Amino acid sequence: MSAALAAEQALNGLQLGLMLFLMAAGLTLVLGIMDTINLAHGSLYMTGAYLAAATYAAAGSFLVAVAAAVVGTALIGALLEMTVLRALYRRDHLSQVLATFAIILIANEAIRMTWGPQPLALPTPRALSGPVELLPGFLYPAWRLVLIAAGLGVAVLLFILVTYTRAGMRVRAGASNREMAEVMGVDVKRLFTVVFAIGAALCALAGALLGPLLAVQVGMGESILILAFVVVVIGGIGSIRGAFVGALLVGIVDTAGRALLVPALASIAIYVLMAAVLFWKPQGLFPARG
Amino acid sequence: MKTGSVALALALAMTSAHAADKVKVGFLSTLSGPGGALGVDIEDGFKLALKSTGNKLGGLPAELVVVDDQQNPDVAKQATDRLLKRDKVDLMTGIVFSNIMLAVGPTIFDAKTFYVSANAGPSQYAGAQCNPYFFNVAWQNDNLHEAVGKHVAEKGFKNVALVAPNYPAGKDALTGFKRYYNGKVADEIYTKLGQLDYAAELAQIRATKPDAVYIFLPGGMGINFIKQYAAAGLAKDVPLFGPGFSADEDVIRAAGDAMNGMYNASQWAHDLPNAENRKFVADFEREYGRLPSLYASQGYDAALLIDAAVRKVKGNLDDKEALRAALASADFKSVRGAFKFNRNHYPVQDYYLRVVEKDAKGRVTNRTVGTIFKDHADAYANECAMK
Amino acid sequence: MKVSLHTPAAGWWWAAVAAMLAAFPTIAANFGQEYYIGLATRMLVFGIAATSLNLLVGYGGMVSFGHAAFFGTGAYAVAALADRGVSAPWITWPLAMALAAMLALAIGAAALRTRGLYFIMITLAFAQMVFYLVVSVKTLGGDDGLSLAARGIGESALFYTALALAVLAACGLRRLANAGFGRALQGVRENEARMEAVGFPVLRIKLAAFTIAGAVAGLSGALLATLNGRAGPGLLDWPQSGQLLVMVILGGVGQRFGGFIGAAVLLAMEEVLSPYWVHWQLVLGIVLLAVVLRAPRGLAGMLARG
């Protein structure tokens, strides 16, 4: 493998990992703080992509489309949390699985009834639709660079938010010990809604940004949902740092697998990674609850 | 006079005892999930044809029972049982995917019910397992790959990279391509079924420096790949080829401008100049507000074939031998032009080269560029023992 | 809430249901509705599969998201044997069970060291490995699956066999749950640490349950392959695991007939709704959501109370 190819594959792994991070961050927080398995997380991603595509078709501006997707999905997420999810917090994981699975069905059909069964178009902004020459002879798609930048930006923002702000402190407190946080005066109800809405917003951002590269179609959430769960498990439940590291690991291992291994092995590379991590650290790399 | 009218009444009674009073067609297709758009297209085409015949098939009122197979062979099997045993349909059609076709085929043939395939063309039913009850008005799965392979070879491309998902249908597709392309294969890449991101594979392709790329990536996989191919800047330097069913209106609508310049082969295009096609395209646009895809054209032709066959047997659907002969004679005007069946009930037809580009109205769509094959038959017909 | 580890004997009305089912094929044939015999057989087969998962989830507290691996393996075993000319069910079905049991033993030994969400994901991972491996092998038919040349057993005979096996599964579940092993298993579900402290071989108990569940799932897979005349990779994929889990949760986790009720209701809804509305899954989703929110112990729990 030439140096240029290796460098390109490294960037690919990074980009895939960062997009998975956007998905996994919200998921791990919901799991860690609310102890809730939310299968509908993928549906929020799909909603974000659809809102972006629809807004783009109407407004013609990609920035407006992304903004609409993020805000719209965050609102939908908050609404979902206040109506359905709130009833599930005290329930066991299995009920949460069934309920959020039901939401997937409802979401898929609702989207299909609104926009039809055909995939929607969400084109890359013209200026960023081709490759960029990073070094002489080394081309890389401009849009993927945008994804890397966005992913890193969000990671830094989240890190600052969680580590240095009061709100972030409450989030961390809730993740490591919900009852104690409640007793200490944290407004748990509002915290949960905000956390869920942020998770939804991150999903929507991923959906909108990936829209130009991936098919915007009904059921697009389920395939990425599995990957997101793998990342959460590898990184450790409730930990954003874990989600970040886990996502990068999955992105790099998956890309390397596809570049270097036989197809049959490449398909299961990330599952082997997850099994290996769990054998070494049965609670993931950086579990919030230690 | 009395004897005459009695005789006439008897004669009428005898014929009406055989002729059916309506034609019940079981339409089983993928109408939901990621593959749903294709089934909906076939259904729209079929229903448009029914509209043009006054909702009649062969002069008899048509009843269409539409069922969704959810792209699940288990569900399809259940639905087929229901259509055959409870609804007692006379014919069946509609299936999009070959694995579903193979799952329900034996049940349909055992029930001595005719199946007119408007899409799925597995090689099994073209060769040794060919069946008198199976007819295909689309193509045998390999045909479109063969057509592109021939074109690529003729055009002088010598170093082609191939991409397909890692399952037998993917391998068969590339085998079909290589049946007519015998140049060098720069790289043969097999991806994961349902894979979303092709960055790694695209980097590999860029490194191997092929002079063309051929892909078989059905559904969402194709859309993803095409979008990412353009983003990687490869579309400008290395022409992309694919089979017609991966480069039609449904993919175009999702991939948009990223698809400009992609070549593909198909047995039909919406700009084919025959009169039936012009009517079909105009009617379809007026009825559904979009351009038809080849799936829609196949659904349309399936209905017309059934219509012609039922008319030929004068509604006598119980005479299976006569109905089979009527179907095999393919006495209808297809929107693709000349149409006839091979003895394995697969089409012998022309294949065209199409390119995706912006048309005069500013729409991204296919334009017919030339003819690749004339009266091309599939590679498995010799293994079929019929007729 | 006092937790009872005892599974009570079924009321008289389950015997009535069984009797009605026994008479079903004759009644159906009388009305010319033979199609429903096949449907009923399917419900019984999925009921057995869901019951095997219920043993794991409801009685053992182990939520497996990879049960499809055993279900599909049983189906493929039958199909592969038929491909080599062996189609007698009394040979192929036990072999299918054995193969599924071996796979369950292997996967369980590796996976049962984890717990909770981690266990869920590990079982999913192993099931996906099986799926991707099988789908890439040409001799197993790839995406097209493997067809059986001959069914080997008549339709009514298959229905009665499935019914008998279902009754056996339901009785077996109760016997197992009330026996020492079953009580220990439920004890592990309630408080694993305490069971370990008292001296129970927790890992071995869980592994035994996992293997038994896998074997029974393999049997139901074999039944399905015989019913459908084929085995396909969809039977190994994670949506299949999800469907089985939904059946268990819908029917009632840890409820003796939860698996059967869940399977019957889910398949019935699909049967009734899907021909009439292309967006029928919306109704299904709403119904499932309502059941979760209103009936915490599933439909079986609702029936038990009311």
* pLDDT of A85 higher than 80: yes
In angstroms, the CA B105 to CA C43 distance is 23
B167 and C143 Cβ atoms separated by less than 8 Å:
yes
In angstroms, the CA C296 to CA C249 distance is 9
Test B99 with C232 for CB contact under 8 angstroms: yes
C306 — pLDDT class (breaks 50, 70, 90): low
The mean pLDDT of A244-260, rounded to a whole number, is 93
Instruction: Tell me which chain B residues have a C-beta less than 8 angstroms from the C-beta of C281.
Output: 32
pLDDT at B364: 92
Test C282 with A109 for CB contact under 8 angstroms: yes
In angstroms, the CA A40 to CA C185 distance is 32
Q: How far is CA A61 from CA A58, A65, B236, B252, in A?
A: 9, 6, 25, 21
In angstroms, the CA B194 to CA C128 distance is 13
Test C274 with B67 for CB contact under 8 angstroms: yes
Instruction: Tell me which chain C residues have a C-beta less than 8 angstroms from the C-beta of A283.
Output: 118
Looking up tokens 């509705």 gives C33
In angstroms, the CA A61 to CA B33 distance is 29
The mean pLDDT of A68-93, rounded to a whole number, is 93
In angstroms, the CA B72 to CA B86 distance is 20
CA nearest neighbour of B154 among B180, B134, B129: B180
Tell me the percentage of chain B whose pLDDT exceeds 70: 95
C304 and C255 Cβ atoms separated by less than 8 Å:
yes
* Largest separation between any pair of C-alpha atoms in chain C: 61
For the stretch B234-271, pLDDT in tens is: 988 899 999 998 899 888 988 888 899 999 999 999 99
In angstroms, the CA C228 to CA B81 distance is 10
Interface test with C, best of B27, B43, B71, B77 (most C CBs within 10 A): B77
> Three-state SS string across A143-205, please?
HHHHHHHHHHHHHHHHHHHHHHCHHHHHHHHHHHCHHHHHHCCCCHHHHHHHHHHHHHHHHHH
In angstroms, the CA C166 to CA C159 distance is 10
Structure tokens at C79: 């199909």
Looking up tokens 């408007």 gives B118
Q: Which of left, alpha, beta for C152 (phi over 0: left; psi -120 to 50: alpha)?
A: left
**Chain A: residue whose CA lies nearest to C54:** A94
Please work out, in degrees rounded to the nearest 5, the angle formed at the alpha carbon of residue C263 by the alpha carbons of C260 and C265.
105
Q: How far is CA C211 from CA A279, B300, C52, C201, C219, in A?
A: 21, 52, 10, 16, 12
For the stretch B11-52, pLDDT in tens is: 444 444 356 789 999 999 998 877 888 899 999 999 999 999
pLDDT at B275: 93
Dihedral (Cα; C112, C114, C118, C123), 10-degree rounding: -20
A40 and A224 Cβ atoms separated by less than 8 Å:
no
Q: Which residue would you say has higher pLDDT here, A275 or A67?
A: A67
The mean pLDDT of B269-278, rounded to a whole number, is 94
* pLDDT of B7 higher than 60: no
Local structure of residue C191 (DSSP, 8 states) = -
Test C289 with A267 for CB contact under 8 angstroms: no
Residue A55, C-beta contacts closer than 8 angstroms, at least 6 positions apart: A64, A65, A68, A69
Residues of C in CB contact (< 8 Å) with B are 33-36, 38-39, 42, 132, 135-136, 138, 141-145, 147, 224, 228-230, 232, 234-235, 270-271, 274-275, 278, 281
pLDDT-wise least confident of A251-265, B191-205, B343-357, C11-25: C11-25
Tell me the percentage of chain A whose pLDDT exceeds 90: 49
Instruction: Tell me which chain C residues have a C-beta less than 8 angstroms from the C-beta of B166.
Output: 135-136
Element (H, E) at B277: helix B275-288
Rg of chain B on CA atoms, in Å: 22
Q: How far is CA A11 from CA A135, A227, A252, A274, B225, in A?
A: 13, 19, 9, 22, 18
Backbone angles phi, psi at C67, to 5 degrees: -65, -25
Looking up tokens 């389950």 gives C14
Element (H, E) at B135: strand B134-136
Dihedral (Cα; C69, C71, C74, C77), 10-degree rounding: -50
Residue A69, C-beta contacts closer than 8 angstroms, at least 6 positions apart: A47, A48, A49, A51, A52, A55, A204, A205, A207, A208
pLDDT at B39: 93
pLDDT at B175: 92
Instruction: Tell me which chain B residues have a C-beta less than 8 angstroms from the C-beta of A220.
Output: 34, 220
Local structure of residue A130 (DSSP, 8 states) = S
In angstroms, the CA B25 to CA B84 distance is 10
In angstroms, the CA B79 to CA B348 distance is 31
**B261 touching chain A per CB within 8 A:** no
Dihedral (Cα; C258, C260, C263, C269), 10-degree rounding: -90
DSSP class per residue in A195-232 = HHHHHHHHHHHHHHHHTTTS-B-TTHHHHHHHHHHHHH
How many of the other CB atoms lie within 10 Å of CB of A274? 25
Instruction: Tell me which chain C residues have a C-beta less than 8 angstroms from the C-beta of A289.
Output: none
Looking up tokens 């015949």 gives B53
CA nearest neighbour of B295 among C79, A249, A117: A117
Q: How close does chain B come to C275, measured CA to CA in Å?
A: 6
Q: Which of left, alpha, beta for B184 (phi over 0: left; psi -120 to 50: alpha)?
A: beta
Average pLDDT of chain A? 89
pLDDT at B214: 96
Test C121 with A112 for CB contact under 8 angstroms: no
Structure tokens at B50: 């029914």
CA end-to-end span of chain C: 19
Residue-level length of chain C: 306
For the stretch B149-165, pLDDT in tens is: 999 999 999 999 999 98
Q: How close does chain A come to C103, measured CA to CA in Å?
A: 17
In angstroms, the CA B98 to CA B83 distance is 19
For the stretch C45-68, pLDDT in tens is: 999 999 999 999 999 999 999 999
CB half-sphere exposure, B211, CA atoms < 13 A: 9
Q: How close does chain A come to B206, measured CA to CA in Å?
A: 8
CA nearest neighbour of A287 among A247, A250, A230, A232: A232
Element (H, E) at B300: helix B294-312
Interface test with B, best of A118, A120, A226, A252 (most B CBs within 10 A): A118
For the stretch C160-177, pLDDT in tens is: 999 999 999 999 998 998
Structure tokens at C239: 């949506």
Residue C136, C-beta contacts closer than 8 angstroms, at least 6 positions apart: A263, A264, A267, B166, B167, C142
For the stretch B346-371, pLDDT in tens is: 999 999 999 999 999 889 999 999 99
Q: How close does chain C come to A67, measured CA to CA in Å?
A: 28
DSSP class per residue in B44-105 = HHHHHHHHHTTSEETTEEEEEEEEE-TT-HHHHHHHHHIIIIIS--SEEE----HHHHHHHH
In angstroms, the CA B374 to CA A193 distance is 64
Question: Helix, strand, or coil here: B132?
Answer: coil
pLDDT at B1: 43
Test A103 with C122 for CB contact under 8 angstroms: no
Instruction: Tell me which chain A residues have a C-beta less than 8 angstroms from the C-beta of B253.
Output: 118-121
In angstroms, the CA B39 to CA C282 distance is 20
Structure tokens at C55: 């043993």
Local structure of residue C57 (DSSP, 8 states) = I
Q: What is the ipTM metric for this complex?
A: 0.85
pLDDT at C3: 55
Residue A60, C-beta contacts closer than 8 angstroms, at least 6 positions apart: none
Taking only residues 116 to 145 of chain A, the set having a beta carbon closer than 8 angstroms to any beta carbon of chain B reads: 117-121, 123-124, 129-131, 139, 141-144
